[in-house]
Amino acid sequence: MGCAWTNLRKQHGRGRAERGMEPRRSWVMAAFLPLLLLGAPWVSVPELPTTPDTLEPGPLVGMAVVITLDTHWTSEAWNSLREDGMEPLRQLTPNKVLGWDMEATPALAGTWDVTAYEGGAEYRAALASGPFAEHRVVLEPRLPHTVQQRVFGVLSDARLIPEWIRIPTSGSPLPAALLISTPEAVEWWWPSIESAPGIRWVEPVLETKARNDVAASIMERGATSSHPAWLYGIDGSGIVIANADSG
């Protein structure tokens, strides 16, 4: 009994000691809290990443020009255009090249016969009747990337919702291409992009499907209406044909 009473007194005393420490802990935290707040500005805090701004197409840089030679074009003459600030795009005739003058100064007549290009975008109509929900926009080959972005901005301003489908690397002869949404007839949106510099042609996106049966009918009787050879069992069943194309 005496031992149990002694243990009870020890536990009671320990509880009083712990309760006595609680005010001391509160006092210590209250004393150090202002010091922590004063020292906070001196602590290096990692900066939060910023959201990059959307790049807006800048003003059009340069202009399309036609460079004419007295003779035919050579690779040396083609490459020398870049030394004078002009990017050759494509050859129009044996002695004429379409280029992009980055300085927009066709007054380089002292070295080259340069004139402003007066052509515009070409609309390549399809045999099928429209309207077409989508069109493909093909730009001039070797067009500088800054001009490509400007064309993208022109299509966006026309509310055609452009989307890149091919962006060639710098120096590639392949043209860049975009896909635009055209729910309205071509007469509604074509005037807004017809004169946009850098566009070579625009064409409707058509449905693609196999026409092997049509090709077979043409091969059999020169028409697309029937397959007389198939009626005699000559339909290619059980026959393997190998075709090699060297290119």
Asked whether residue 240 is assigned to any structural domain, the reply reads no
Hey, what amino acid is at 67? I
Given a cut of 70, whether residue 44 has pLDDT beyond it is no
Q: Are residues 197 and 141 in the same domain?
A: yes
Asked whether residue 40 is assigned to any structural domain, the reply reads no
Asked whether residue 57 is assigned to any structural domain, the reply reads no
> Quick check: bond before 131 cis, omega within 30?
yes
Hey, what amino acid is at 120? G
Q: What is the pLDDT of residue 191?
A: 93
Question: What rounded mean pLDDT belongs to the chain?
Answer: 79
Q: Which helix (H) or strand (E) holds 66?
A: strand 63-68
Asked whether residue 37 is assigned to any structural domain, the reply reads no
Residues 114-135: tens digit of each pLDDT:
999 988 899 998 887 778 999 9
Asked whether residue 235 is assigned to any structural domain, the reply reads no
Q: How confident is the model at residue 89 (pLDDT cuts 50, 70, 90)?
A: very high
Asked whether residue 23 is assigned to any structural domain, the reply reads no
Say which residue the tokens 């020169």 belong to.
222
- Which runs of consecutive H residues, i.e. helices, occur in the chain? 2-39, 75-83, 145-157, 186-193, 212-221, 228-231
Q: Are residues 107 and 172 in the same domain?
A: no
- Alpha carbons within 13 A on the beta-carbon side of 56: 4
Under 8 Å between Cβ of 164 and 178: yes
What's 225's DSSP letter? S
Residue 142: domain span: 122-204
- Please give the backbone phi and psi of residue 31, each rounded to the nearest 5 degrees, phi first: -75, -35
Residues linked to residue 180 through DSSP beta bridges, in sequence order: 135
Task: Report the alpha-carbon distance of residue 218 to residue 225 in Å, rounded.
Answer: 9
Q: How confident is the model at residue 56 (pLDDT cuts 50, 70, 90)?
A: low
Q: How confident is the model at residue 48 (pLDDT cuts 50, 70, 90)?
A: very low
Asked whether residue 12 is assigned to any structural domain, the reply reads no
CB atoms within 10 A of CB 201: 14
- CA-closest candidate to residue 200, choices 157, 139, 125: 139
Under 8 Å between Cβ of 12 and 19: no
Q: Are residues 101 and 129 in the same domain?
A: no
Asked whether residue 48 is assigned to any structural domain, the reply reads no
- CA-closest candidate to residue 184, choices 165, 151, 161: 161
Helices then strands, each counted (H, E), the chain:
6, 9
How many structural domains does the chain have?
A: 2
